[in-house]
Amino acid sequence: MVRRVGRCAAFGRPDLCALAVEAAGRLRSPREVVLAWVDGFNRRDTLAAAAPYHDDAVNTEVTAGRPTVRRQAVLEELLEFFRALPDNYTRPVIVFEDGEWAVRESSGEVLGGASFARLPANGRSFTLQGCGFVQVIAGKITFQRGSWDKAG
């Protein structure tokens, strides 16, 4: 089934109002999209974790620095992340949804103490706590802005 999403034109992104196809016959909600990303991430499946992103998505992880633009760049960063930190997980603490936005608070752990961001490898595991704001239009992540509140 194909469903046209016309409301997104009102949000200044008519380029993202293309036809969207979902196997379930409906578009996934922002919450469902975020949870699908978490599932792919925790399976370390780079294709599944990158699939929810629109081709022209922008992902800014404030703690990491520069924005990542385009799904292909998100995929490449995920590959690099999983190579550097193969033993990790994230757990959503809570996911709120409001219109085309989802807000996720999460907690996760990196096992084995590999280097991460600006933290040098030290042989110990560490916890990551953070949050993110995710805009989902036509069933795809178009914009994401997140931050880690704590790494240590």
Residue 1 has pLDDT above 50, yes or no: no
Per the CB < 8 A criterion, the answer to whether 128 and 44 are in contact is no
Question: Per-residue pLDDT tens for 66-104?
Answer: 899 999 999 999 998 888 778 888 999 999 999 999 999
Q: Confidence class of residue 115 from pLDDT cuts 50, 70 and 90?
A: low
Q: Is the pLDDT of residue 5 over 60?
A: no
Residue 148 has pLDDT above 90, yes or no: no
User: 55 phi and psi, to 5 degrees?
Assistant: -55, -35
pLDDT for residue 34 is more than 60: yes
Does the pTM of the predicted model rise above 0.85? Answer: no
Which residue is associated with the tokens 């110990």?
Answer: 124
39 has a pLDDT exceeding 70 = yes
Q: Count the Cβ atoms, other than its own, within 10 Å of residue 5.
A: 16
Start-to-end CA span in the chain (Å): 46
Predicted local distance difference test score (pLDDT) of residue 128: 83
Distance CA 18, CA 4 (A): 7
3-state SS assignment for residue 147: strand
Q: Which has the closest alpha carbon to 75: 57, 102, 96, 99?
A: 57
Residue identified by tokens 């219109």 is: 99
125, 111 contact by CB (below 8 A): yes
Supply the pLDDT for residue 79. 92
Per-residue model confidence (pLDDT) at position 113: 58
